[in-house]
Amino acid sequence: MNLGQKIEQLLKMTAMTKVELSKKLGLKDSSVVSHWVKNRFKPDRDNMIKLSHVFDKPVSYFTDDAISYSVAEKSEEPYDKKIYELLSNMPSSRPIGVLNEIKEEYFNISYYSQPEEYLPVMLEAKGQTPFALKVTDTAACPWANKGEYLIFCPSAQIANGKLALVKTEKGLSVKKVSFSASKAVLEDARKNIERRARAEVEVVAQLLAFYRKP
């Protein structure tokens, strides 16, 4: 039985809906649970621990049998403790949270923004947490089509000529960026060029991918 089947079985046994489970886990979007059930991706280590509490099951119940077997066989330490340590050392891959919609060329994102939507995409970005922005107005962001998502990874550096989320006194915007020793050149999708002092431009995140929901 795979992990999705286990979660689906537990939902039936407890007469709990996916929406109810998502609320108990503190998720904003119940579609994340649906993706788990369909085995499109797996819960990260934090959500595995939460699942164990909600369903009163050991954490090991929500791991792959192959992983569980190898860990149990190599140590006499408490089984759940070893599984917890194993999960704690795994990359923290998780669905991509959508933080904002791009409705105008310059916009802002609150530091306290919580994703209201998640993309069924798993990315590992060297300890950083990737995020997405949804393009709802192509006039504001002609790099993408309406309804597409731009997936970013937080970064203060970007290679010249690459797309990035940058911050100026106008706000955040998606630009192609090039730096020299003292200057910054920002280019939009219409080939409009803006030259600024390098100190006036802050790189917030680098663009990883474009995504459209199937």
Is domain 3-88 in CATH 3.40.50.1240, yes or no? no
CA distances in angstroms from 4 to 26, 107, 176, 192, listed in the order given: 19, 38, 41, 48
Residues counted in the chain: 214
Mark out the alpha helices in 45-180 (DSSP H runs): 45-54, 65-74, 79-88
Same fold yes or no, 3-88 and 96-211: no
> Phi/psi at 101 (nearest 5 deg)?
-110, 140
52-63 confidence digits (pLDDT tens) = 888 888 777 776
Q: Under 8 Å CB-to-CB from 107, ≥6 apart: which residues?
A: 100, 140, 171, 172, 173
The pLDDT-based confidence of 65 (bands split at 50, 70, 90) is very low
Tell me the CATH number of domain 96-211, given options 3.30.465.10, 2.10.109.10, 1.10.10.10, 3.40.1440.10: 2.10.109.10
Please determine, for residue 212, whether its predicted confidence score (pLDDT) is greater than 70. yes
175 CB burial (10 A radius; 0-12, 13-18, 19+): buried
Question: Angle at the Cα of 12 (from 31 to 43), degrees rounded to 5?
Answer: 40
What DSSP string runs through 14-57?
HT--HHHHHHHHT-S-THHHHHHHTTSS---HHHHHHHHHHTT-
157-202 confidence digits (pLDDT tens) = 888 999 999 999 999 999 999 999 899 999 988 889 999 999 999 9
Residue 139 DSSP code: T
Q: What is the pLDDT of residue 72?
A: 36
Is 73 or 58 the better-scoring residue by pLDDT?
A: 58
Q: Structural domain boundaries of the chain? A: 3-88, 96-211
